[in-house]
A and B are shown apart, each in its own frame.
Chain A
Amino acid sequence: MGKYIALTGAESAAFAMKQINPDVVAAYPITPQTPVAMKFSEYVANGEVNTEYVTVESEHSAMSATVGAAAAGARAMTATASNGLALMWEIVYIASSMRLPILMAVVNRALSGPINIHGDHSDAMGARDSGWIQIFNENNQEVYDSFIMALRIAEHPDVLTPAMVCQDGFITSHSVENVMPLTNEQVQKFIGKKKFKGLITADKPFTMGPLDLQDYYFEHKKQQHEAMKKVFAVVEEVQNEYAKEFGRKYSVIEEYRTEDADTIIMGLNSVMGNVKTVVDSAREKGIKIGAVKPRFFRPFPVDYLRDLLPKFKAVVVLDRSDSFGAMPPLYSETLAALYGIENAPMIKGYIHGLGGRDTNLAMIETVVDNLQKLKDTGEGNLTFEYLGVRE
């Protein structure tokens, strides 16, 4: 295997993009995604990639240019965060409905307002029904590996659906960590040549993106729905191959010290590193606790959770976003997945870390205490609350 290099999370995404060597990248800088676009444009300027880099005037244009390039058969990518994702909204849906396997680095940041540049998941969670695959990543190594696997998943003929590779703004995007990259040759061999053919040619013209009304639209949505259902089969295949080739094993849902656990904490992205640390110290006190980290939010791993969660007596779900007037997304979808299952665990939700507020170990220790109460007495079952908010 190779050796470790020091990369920020943003640089990890850019480095993976460089090794993939996409045909077209169109991106517009927005904090904290800026270093992704900045680093990648440096690769372009240095001639380290063959990519056509399109400097656009907004995220709406970034996604539009990416869609155009992908429709013409190019491997096309972009990157954004927060309000940038919001500005490309219209075209985000068009990318997925045109079934273009675009990759997008999403550096999760609070969606204004009041204006805030730091990490939470309100941007990606807003886009959860846009028809994109969403992969969440705890650290920089995961960001790197996910990017390379995401390409294979998105371009798979059963899937042909764009994918967002998410990471927490600043917390990982601007944090230098050890990352062990593959060689360019390894990456190129793993991703292979693009099978998604160049589409519009002079001798085989056809129409893309036409008006699609009551007579056909419904069928096209069903196709998107069915493609998403096939994602996990492809993910399993790609993950296994990745593990076999490079020795790094990923799963749709990562389990940490769950073997004999009766309680677990579940959540997305960087906070799960803190959770694992607290799990370790709680274990030393004899608490049978583990951590469960879904790496995918779209498609949502319903079957996996229905298999896994009934093994535990009580579950806490951490959401780094709110759904005002409703239950937060990870919590509510987990609840829905568990509905009607015999031996479903008790469950409680916490909304944490909005606007990049540090979810520190003391806060998670409080969660562990409350989780034990939930297990022993049922206190707090089917409720959710803010974690560490000032009264």
Chain B
Amino acid sequence: MTETKKGWKDLPIGGNILEAGNSQHYFTGTWRTYKPITDLDKCINCLQCWMFCPDNSIVIKDGKMDGQDYDHCKGCGVCAAICPVKAIDMIKEEK
């Protein structure tokens, strides 16, 4: 986040943010205390974690669960709590 911010002459008026979905550029992964680790062998691909994740951070590949997006996962643990087969462990983040 070291980019130079635009001045009043160059900013869109009215506080509009013209670039849709720009929250992707903001990495919230650094906020974590606990990190979800998924045992894909145990996973039954029910995708409840995907539905419940508040930060869109469950990675889906070919329709299947493929772990977490650690750039944006805040480590809330919702996925671990919802998982019916206990395939997700929350471990202490090492910084």
Instruction: Please tell me whether chains A and B touch each other in their complex, using a CB distance cut-off of 8 A.
Output: yes
Q: Would A206 and B13 count as touching, CB distance under 8 A?
A: no
B20: Cβ under 8 A from any A Cβ: yes
B19: Cβ under 8 A from any A Cβ: yes
Q: Would B14 and A99 count as touching, CB distance under 8 A?
A: yes
Q: In chain B, residues 1-41, which have Cβ atoms closer than 8 Å to a Cβ of chain A?
A: 5-8, 11, 13-20
Residues of A within 8 A of B8 (CB): 219-220, 222-223, 226
How many B residues are at the interface, by size bracket? 10 to 19
Closest-CB distance, A200 to chain B (whole angstroms): 10
Q: Would B17 and A210 count as touching, CB distance under 8 A?
A: yes
Q: Would A160 and B19 count as touching, CB distance under 8 A?
A: no
Give bound CA distance, A100 to B14, whole Å.
8
Give bound CA distance, A379 to B13, whole Å.
49
Residues of A within 8 A of B13 (CB): 99, 160, 220, 223, 227
Q: Would B7 and A219 count as touching, CB distance under 8 A?
A: yes
How many A residues are at the interface, by size bracket? 20 to 34
Q: Would A216 and B5 count as touching, CB distance under 8 A?
A: yes
Interface of A is mostly: loop
Residues of B within 8 A of A207 (CB): 16-17, 20
Q: Would A97 and B15 count as touching, CB distance under 8 A?
A: yes
A223-B11 CB under 8 A given contacts A215-B5, A216-B5: yes
- Output the residue of B7, B8, B17, B20 with the most chain A CB within 10 A: B8
Q: Would B17 and A98 count as touching, CB distance under 8 A?
A: no
Closest-CB distance, B2 to chain A (whole angstroms): 13
A260: Cβ under 8 A from any B Cβ: no
Closest-CB distance, A216 to chain B (whole angstroms): 7
Q: Would B18 and A220 count as touching, CB distance under 8 A?
A: no
Residues of B within 8 A of A223 (CB): 8, 11, 13
Residues of B within 8 A of A (CB): 5-8, 11, 13-20
